[in-house]
Chain A
Amino acid sequence: MLLPTRRHTVRLGHALAACTNPGDLLLLSGELGAGKTFLARAWARALGARRRVTSPTFVLVNEYMTSKGLLLHADLYRLRDTPTFERDVLRLGLRERRDEGAIVLVEWGDEAERLLGGPAAITVVLRFAGERGREVSLQGPRAQCVEVGVAVEQEPR
């Protein structure tokens, strides 16, 4: 799927939010500058987060209240490639927060799926596609739900 403009990304955010449930693990994957945080913001806003959604790189985890309960926006960028990666991810306690019903949205979390409490409901892979914008692919049990949502959103009304 291609995201030629920011507006397309925002629409995708709405479709993702519609398919998100409490306790979900959601992964955002892609290189530096692929647009992970931008999509995370669109997603969080569509879920009803009212506070400013900024990069969690420095603080690791930002918390937002949404219409579907607590949303934790995490970024494992600074934990990658360290010998204590596993232990550090576990210490963030995201798995336990999921059990309590929090939606956990993680950037740079591909290698931590198991540590975050098991299968991601949706994995979004973003790729910069030059002039054409961003390319996105969806994986996971709820990917189809999102695709249908995007298709409906893009139908002329």
Chain B
Amino acid sequence: MLVLGIETSCDETGAAVVSSDGTVLSDVVESQVALHAEWGGVVPELASRDHLRNTGPVVREALAKAGLRLDQVDAIAVTCRPGLVGALLVGVQTAKGIAWGAGKPLVGVDHLVGHLVSVFLRREGETTQEGLGFPYVGLLVSGGHTALYRVEGPCADQIHELGATRDDAAGEAFDKVAKVLGLAYPGGPRIDRLASEGDPLRVKLVPPMARRGSLEFSFSGIKTEVARRVASGGVPQGDALCDLCASFQSAVTGVLAKKLFEAVERERMDRVVLGGGVSANRELRRRVEELGRQKGIATLVPSLASATDNAAMIAYAGIKRLERGEVDGGDLVATSETVLEQLTRKGRGRRGSSPHAFSVPRRTE
């Protein structure tokens, strides 16, 4: 099965063609990072306009790169949640139009599910990673999300949240701290680079929510602590800046890695999978790989292109829905909330009423 995926949930307009075994035939990302760098962050309403301008060309390029005509793909998959509805709508309406015009089935995909299965993608030159399969503990860590999941399969109802951030996402903390320190956007890679030249022990920062037993995260406090230091002592320069970056990065990645393996122990799993843009952070990778080696746990990390927002993961997650006979109709809506269930604050039971699922799946032939 060949599926065209479309992704417009945030700062990237993406389109990709992926086959059932995860082979990426094409993956086009119209990166808007250059546009946003000027303003020190992603500006989604700017993004929304750009999505509108980019979607057509990006879809055409994805098909051209895959060497396919539209009638040769089997279905259209599109990110329909979570995110800013205006940005999502651009993708959803485009996908509906293409699906209707070409007479192809349409499936909506939750962006978070895409991230959690992105490790299954095989791009040119990549081989399937050893030990890949279900179930696993997935750590999704990006600018908008930070959460741990028990992943039993590739569909939303097989994914169970184990813990999430109470406040800021890890990537958001990186971006805000970078801004406080006067670093350019995107903040994550810059902090990563400065940190590699610093001593994480010279500045003492309290590890965020390091309490044992809880799989929840909180990155608001450490952001505040850095802002406080800068407010009272000014932006550190030279080695002092590197040291502060190293301390901050060490505290954030330390707690991410620690809780990931606490989850592994609690869930009695033998593999972990990372996803989301922050999984590109070198120290996070190093820590997770090291702990994995020590504990005999397989550590699977997607390539950078698969970890950051992309449409290939949406196409792949869409394939997995289609393989179960699920398909959406013209009534597919863009929704700001994820379909994945959330834990209660205390980690017991589910929060609120059960989240509304995708529009009722119709069976395909």
> Which residues in A have some Cβ–Cβ distance to B below 8 Å?
31-33, 37-38, 41, 50-52, 54-55, 57-63, 77-79, 81-82, 84, 87-88, 91-93, 128
Contact = CB atoms under 8 A, between A and B. Distances in A.
Given A78-B39, A91-B45, A91-B48, A55 B168 contact: yes
Contact of B45 (A51, A63, A92): A92
Contact of A82 (B39, B168, B172, B227): B39
B43 to A, nearest CB: 6
Contacts of A55: 167-169, 172, 220
Given A37-B220, A52-B342, A58-B143, A82 B43 contact: yes
A31 B227 contact: yes
B302 interface: no
Given A51-B342, A54-B166, A88 B45 contact: yes
Main secondary structure of the interface of A (DSSP, over half): loop
A128 B43 CA distance: 27
Interface in B130-176: 143-144, 164-169, 171-172, 176
B224 interface: yes
A50 B354 CA distance: 11
Contacts of A88: 43, 45-46
Main secondary structure of the interface of B (DSSP, over half): loop
A55 B220 CA distance: 9
A84 B353 CA distance: 39
Interface of B: 10, 39-46, 48, 82-84, 86, 143-144, 164-169, 171-172, 176, 180, 220, 223-225, 227-228, 231, 336-337, 342, 345, 351-353
Contacts of A84: 43, 45-46
Nearest to A32: B227
A52 B39 contact: no
A46 to B, nearest CB: 14
A38 B227 contact: no
B336 A59 contact: yes
Nearest to B227: A33
B336 A52 contact: no
Given A52-B345, A54-B166, A93-B86, 16 more contacts: A31-B231, A32-B224, A33-B227, A52-B351, A54-B165, A55-B168, A57-B168, A61-B84, A63-B337, A78-B43, A82-B43, A84-B43, A84-B45, A87-B45, A91-B48, A92-B45
In the A-B complex, the 9 residue pairs with the closest CB atoms: A33-B224, A50-B352, A58-B144, A88-B45, A33-B227, A78-B41, A55-B168, A82-B39, A91-B45
Nearest to A92: B45
A38 B45 contact: no
25 contacts: A32-B224, A32-B227, A37-B167, A37-B168, A38-B220, A41-B167, A51-B352, A52-B342, A54-B165, A54-B166, A54-B167, A54-B169, A55-B169, A59-B83, A59-B336, A60-B44, A77-B41, A78-B39, A78-B41, A81-B39, A84-B43, A84-B46, A91-B48, A92-B86, A128-B228
A128 B10 CA distance: 32
Nearest to B221: A33
A78 B42 contact: yes
A141 B27 CA distance: 53
A88 B337 CA distance: 22
A42 B329 CA distance: 39
A59 B45 contact: no
Contacts of A78: 39, 41-44
A120 to B, nearest CB: 21
A52 to B, nearest CB: 5
B119 to A, nearest CB: 23
* Residue with the greatest number of chain B CB neighbours at <10 A, chosen from A33, A38, A79, A92: A33
B218 to A, nearest CB: 10
Nearest to B143: A58
Nearest to B226: A33
Contacts of B165: 54
Contact of A61 (B171, B172, B227, B336): B336
A58 B46 contact: no
A33 to B, nearest CB: 3
A53 to B, nearest CB: 9
A23 to B, nearest CB: 20
Contacts of A58: 10, 42, 143-144, 169, 171-172
Contacts of A81: 39-40
A77 B172 CA distance: 12
Nearest to B164: A52
A29 to B, nearest CB: 16
A137 to B, nearest CB: 19
